[in-house]
Amino acid sequence: MGALLQVEHLTMRFGGLVAVDDVSFAAADREITAVIGPNGAGKTTLFNCLTGFYKPTVGRLALRRPEGEFFLERMEGFRIAREAKVARTFQNIRLFPHMTTLENLMVAQHNPLMRASGMSLLGLFAWPGYRRAERAAVERARYWLAKVDLLAQADDEAGALPYGAQRRLEIARAMCTEPCLLCLDEPAAGLNPRESAELNDLLRLIRDEHRIAILLIEHDMSVVMQISDRVVVLDYGRKIADGSPAQVRNDAAVIRAYLGEDEDAALPEEVARDLQAGH
């Protein structure tokens, strides 16, 4: 399968700080690519460049879709979501807390609904075409609510949902934009083991049934190692490894990055367990 996203020589500087330093990698279509690395490795900065919140200092972010090629580094944030179809979630969940679960998913379908409502003019007078579009949008929302097990909370305030449910809702909301690339920033953070396992199933479903590529930042190795097709490791803004989970797990540079320079140190048991979790 061809590369959907090609990151080339991406560099992001903040004053003197180089958060991302000449990173290149590719993410294949319909695969899950994980980006891992210690805290401060530049993972979220990479995401922010991809989704238009930062303009990279140097580098190219090319997204190749059948419809054409998009250079994300040149696009405004909202256009990346609207035209290049890259959707994302946030490390610190960003829902619309006072709106309901369903409303959150309806906002995600803003652009098609806006067209159907004739920039609101037709919608104002309940034009049948708009009502059809709205029903279809509700159905899509219902589908994703079922997938993330939130149907019963559809009319509850999103901000009042439990933490794990908010994480799932954010993924559902991103999926409602019908993306071709889904960027997830630590989706398993704060989830208990059972919820993590459910998350794995959800991400597999998105990849296998919806045939959507996922770019994943994650610390939870049980998630990364089990579901990733490819793993990119960053440390201090540089790429230090790139390969299949099995390759990365045994990469000396990766182990060093996670455990420090002292190569003689034995792996603490829980770290070893995490790294082996894929087996």
Residues at the site binding other proteins, with contacts judged by CB under 8 A? 44, 48, 51-53, 77-79, 81-83, 87-88, 90, 94-100, 102-103, 106-111, 113-114, 117, 119-120, 123-124, 126, 131, 134-135, 138, 141-142, 145, 151, 154-155, 173-174, 177
Q: Alpha-carbon distance 240 to 210, whole Å?
A: 31
The helix-helix angle for 163-176 and 193-208 (nearest 10°) equals 10
CA distances, 36 to each of 72, 87, 117, 151, 245 (Å): 22, 19, 42, 32, 11
Q: Please give the structure tokens belonging to residue 154.
A: 């559809």
Q: Which is nearer to other proteins, 44 or 196 (CB)?
A: 44
CB burial string 27-49: b at 16+ within 10 A, e below: bebbbbbbbbbeeebbbbbbbbb
If the CB atoms of residues 122 and 271 are measured against other proteins, the closer one turns out to be 122
- Which residue lies nearer to other proteins by CB, 126 or 253? 126
CB 154 within 8 A of CB 169: no
Are the beta carbons of 172 and 105 closer than 8 angstroms? yes
Least Å distance between CB 79 and other proteins?
8
Contact 242, 228 (CB under 8 A): no
Nearer to other proteins, 108 or 203 (CB): 108
Taking the least distance from each CB to other proteins, the nearer of 181 and 221 is 181
Grouping H, G, I as helix, E, B as strand and the rest as coil, residue 57 is coil
Stated as kind and residue range, the H or E segment containing 266 is none
Query: In residues, how long is the chain?
Result: 279
* Closer residue to other proteins, CB minimum distance, 145 or 212: 145
Q: How far apart are CA 9 and CA 46, in angstroms?
A: 12
- Strand 3-14 versus strand 17-28 pairing type: antiparallel
Closest to other proteins by CB, 88 vs 230, is 88
Give the other-Cβ count within 10 Å of 237's Cβ: 23
Nearer to other proteins, 131 or 238 (CB): 131
Bridge partners, 69 (sequence order): 64
Q: How far apart are CA 41 and CA 241, in angstroms?
A: 13
